[in-house]
A = this chain, B = another copy of it.
Amino acid sequence: MSDPKSVITRLHGAGGAYMHNLIKEYFLQLYDGYGEVGLDVLDDGAVINGIVFTTDSFTVRPLFFKGGDIGRLAVSGTVNDIAMMGGDPIALSLGVVIEEGFPKSDLAKIVESIKNTVEEAGVHIVTGDTKVMEKGSLDKMIINTSGIGVASDALKYNFTVLRKTRQVKYEWLVPMNLRDGDKIIVSGNIGDHAIAILSSRQGIEFEINVESDVAPLNKMMKAVLEVGGVADAKDPTRGGLADLLNDWSEKSGLGIYIRENDIPVREDVRNAIEFLGLDLMELGNEGKAVLAVSPEMARDVLDTLHKTPWGKNAAIIGEVRKDIQGVILETAVGGKRLVTRPVGDPVPRIC
């Protein structure tokens, strides 16, 4: 019963190669040509009639973890999906499915966290749905947030700047805007969320005082777009940098070159990753953006990121290159390796 050819396995939820194949084999047939950015682009969201529209279901365990909870995650995740398209998020829906026996006191904490996070982001919960499943038929709670956003003046300005360096088909942040020479910027330390989730789980035998980075990034993205020259942005959640950069490479038809030494990582997180035998490139994050920026504007974008609360540790970690294929990592010791989409999930159910 665990043959991934005939049944769904955990691999299909891992944000890597299996998930992409599942989506292509089953869900892509639903694409019917609709939308300025449609289902076929398989990006953070779609664009229809000038509206960014996105959805995300959250199954994170534990529900409360160091630095956050499922409520903060559900708001941030969908706000970020909209922001990574270049949209200005305006409204979210909230669909909650709860297991019978769930403590109301925990529900109160989660709703409070949702409230605080929508206020922080400056967005609004406008509609919702509540379902209850019998005890034993759901592990506690699933939250779905969907969201809509609009094109901001900042986005329009970003493209007036970007058009100085290239022709642009989509005035949204999509991988097809990437060009040879674009700088790859990551907005801060990688790995915090996955390691915080791991260390919040019962029975985990390592201690580390790191909090999840989970945060709504729409204000950071607005600041960056006001600088201009951003070709695409994406948040390295499930599948981490490895999946994100492979996505960019596949959809743009260009290579990506990354220097491991330039990826910002907390020292204790790096030690934990090594201790646990994990791959930094595959770890999920929930408060980080990866940007592809025209080389002319990369320094200004970086300086702006450093001035925001979310981008203090932002760094240029590599470039888009037409002379290579796929994603190449220059390792810390000077070697080079091809980074492929993850197969398994180093830390399952991080979102």
Contacts and interface: CB of A to CB of B under 8 A. Distances in A.
Contact of A144 (B55, B99, B104, B139): B55
Interface stretch (A21-29, A174-182, A322-330): A21-29
A45 B35 CA distance: 22
Interface string A258-290: 000000000000000000000000000000000
Contacts of A107: 8, 26
Interface in A138-161: 138-139, 142, 144, 146, 148, 150
Interface in A325-341: none
A100 B3 CA distance: 11
Contacts of A55: 93-95, 127-129, 144, 146
A113 B39 CA distance: 18
A34 interface: yes
A133 B69 CA distance: 18
A39 B127 contact: yes
A183 to B, nearest CB: 28
Which secondary structure characterizes the binding site on chain A? mixed
A131 B59 contact: yes
A146 B78 CA distance: 13
A56 B95 contact: yes
A108 interface: yes
A153 to B, nearest CB: 16
A15 to B, nearest CB: 9
A132 B7 CA distance: 11
A134 interface: yes
A133 B349 contact: yes
B57 A126 contact: no
A173 B329 CA distance: 56
A103 interface: yes
Nearest to A150: B49
A32 B120 CA distance: 13
A340 to B, nearest CB: 20
Nearest to A112: B29
Interface in A78-120: 90-91, 93-105, 107-108, 111, 114-115, 118
B9 A132 contact: yes
Nearest to A38: B126
Contacts of A7: 100-104
A237 B58 CA distance: 25
15 contacts: A8-B98, A8-B100, A27-B130, A30-B115, A32-B124, A35-B124, A35-B126, A39-B125, A48-B91, A49-B90, A49-B150, A55-B146, A56-B129, A59-B133, A134-B139
Given A1-B101, A23-B130, A29-B115, 7 more contacts: A8-B101, A10-B132, A26-B108, A39-B127, A49-B150, A55-B146, A93-B146
Across the A-B interface, give the 5 residue pairs with the lowest CB-CB distance, nearest first. Answer: A13-B132, A146-B146, A55-B93, A137-B139, A46-B126
